[in-house]
Amino acid sequence: MKTIVISLLFVFIFPVSSQSVLTLDAGTTLGVLTGTDFCANIITGNGILYGSGNICGGLVSVQQNTSEIPASFELFQNYPNPFNPVTLIKYQIPANSFVSLKLYDQLGREALEIFEGEQNAGYYSIQINAGGLSSGIYYLKVSYGGNFKAIKISLIK
């Protein structure tokens, strides 16, 4: 019993305060002081909170880092997955280039051209609406500078 009381007293006499950094999205960070009760459901890159939560205490700030250039070409899994009919696609490109985003069915036929054109180096997110497509498994292919990456996504209506 003495050990427990001594341990509790030690915590209250010598509080530790530090700061953690949580990555929310490519190029966006959130600094939270230890002990801060962060209650937001969703926070956007420009600092808007969504959901029934709120910031309950401590200093919380959001900064959008638009000058950061990614080190590599990446395509991230869509969210939500499975989806009906809207989903969010995130990817990053390390240099200016021609970029193509296309959706293919299981037989390899192009089902939807999402984007095709020149893009600057940076972080991107695109919301796609596949309301005109039937339920099933699709493959999203992102082509960049002679390279490509693909992910499998599920549309359930």
pLDDT for the residue numbered 67: 67
User: Rounded to an integer, what distance in angstroms lies between the CA atom of residue 38 and that of residue 59?
Assistant: 10
Q: How far is CA 18 from the centre of its chain?
A: 25
pLDDT for the residue numbered 133: 94
Which parts of the chain register pLDDT below 70? 1-67
pLDDT for the residue numbered 25: 52
Is the peptide bond preceding residue 80 cis, with omega within 30 degrees of 0? yes
**pLDDT tens by residue, 1-30:** 444 433 333 333 334 433 334 445 544 545
**pLDDT tens by residue, 82-94:** 999 999 999 999 9
Locus of tokens 């990053």 = 92
- Return the domain boundaries, the chain: 14-64, 74-155
CATH number for the region 74-155 comes to: 2.60.40.1930
